[in-house]
Copies of this chain bind each other. A is one copy, B any other.
Amino acid sequence: MTEQLAAVEAALGAWVAPVGSTPPSLAEPMRYAVLDGGKRLRPLLVLAASQAVSGEPEAAMRAACAVELIHAYSLVHDDMPCMDNDVLRRGKPTVHVRYGQASAMLAGDALQALAFELLTPEGGLVPMAMQASLCRMLARAAGGQGMAGGQAIDLASVGLAISSEQLHEMHKLKTGALLLASVMMGAACGSPSAQAQAALSDYGAAMGLAFQVVDDILDVTADSQTLGKTAGKDAAQDKPTFVSLMGLQASRNYAQELLSQAQASLRHSQLPDTRALWALADKLVHRAF
């Protein structure tokens, strides 16, 4: 996993607004938003899924970075004063604190476009049909029926009493869609059987949900320094969370149950090598930040 992580960092460093490609006043906040930080969970999921289906390495690395760019842009916009108004991210000042709001907004916008650019290289590096599939999956996961839709529900639900069902639906979109897309985009770099595809989809859905449950747990149990972002934010903003809805211990049990579900899906997939996916599931649920 250390090796994969280093490869992702190197690829992001090479592909995100390299010198000469982009006006410096935009390239700087773009690189600041993406490089030198982050757990790279989504890229690792892409690569692990691709490995499980013996996917095309070039396509997988591009998909891995594209997903991370969507994630990074969403954090930049989410942190802005009109949204969460946060000043700390990955242990550093947020992009708008460092570069101003206008540059932060533009950098986020440009990162989203760059994600689709990475997926569509010229020169036969990635089969055209695969490019189109990857773009489709990423666009759906990022947009109004995915991440952005979930953020809108989140925004509209602050201070409201929402049901467990509504909370699940919100997170399925807000964080789940992109995590699921990470797994399925990795799978789309190869040609898995229908059974394997369904199993990976179940795995990705369970992981998406588990991620959010653990996030909610860490928000109340970890400190800001460990998290690299402001802790206790959800309670302070009166946001509904799994912990506020079902309590801390039940949330922990639920995360463990989702991990078991994800691992059961991998067993059902009949894929020969799901070790990396297995390890990532374990890491995701047992992470400390």
A270 interfacial contact with B, CB 8 Å: no
Q: A120-B135, A122-B136, A139-B120 are in contact. Are A82 and B102 (CB under 8 A)?
A: yes
B149 touches A26 (CB 8 A): yes
Among the 9-residue stretches A105-113, A220-228, A251-259, the one with 4 or more Cβ atoms under 8 Å from chain B is A105-113
Selected contact of A148 from candidates B113, B120, B133, B144, CB within 8 Å? B113
The answer on a CB contact under 8 Å between A156 and B105 is no
* Chain copies in complex: 2
Residue A17 CB within 8 A of the other chain: yes
Please state if B143 and A106 are interface contacts (CB–CB under 8 Å).
no
**Which residues of B are found within 8 Å of A80, using beta-carbon distances?**
82, 105
Binding site for B on A (CB under 8 A): 17, 21-23, 25-27, 30, 73-74, 77, 80, 82-83, 100-103, 105-106, 108-110, 112-117, 119-122, 128-129, 131-133, 135-136, 138-140, 142-146, 148-149, 151-153, 155-156, 173
Contact of A22 with B149 in the complex, beta carbons under 8 Å: yes
Shortest C-beta distance, A121 to chain B (Å), equals 8
Chain B contacts of A116 at CB under 8 A?
116, 135-136, 138-139
Within the complex, which residue of B27, B112, B119, B151 is in contact with A112, where a contact is CB–CB below 8 Å?
A: B112
Q: A105-B77, A128-B129 are in contact. Are A152 and B23 (CB under 8 A)?
A: yes
Closest CB pairs A-B (n = 10): A113-B143, A82-B101, A26-B152, A22-B144, A120-B136, A131-B132, A110-B148, A116-B139, A128-B129, A117-B139
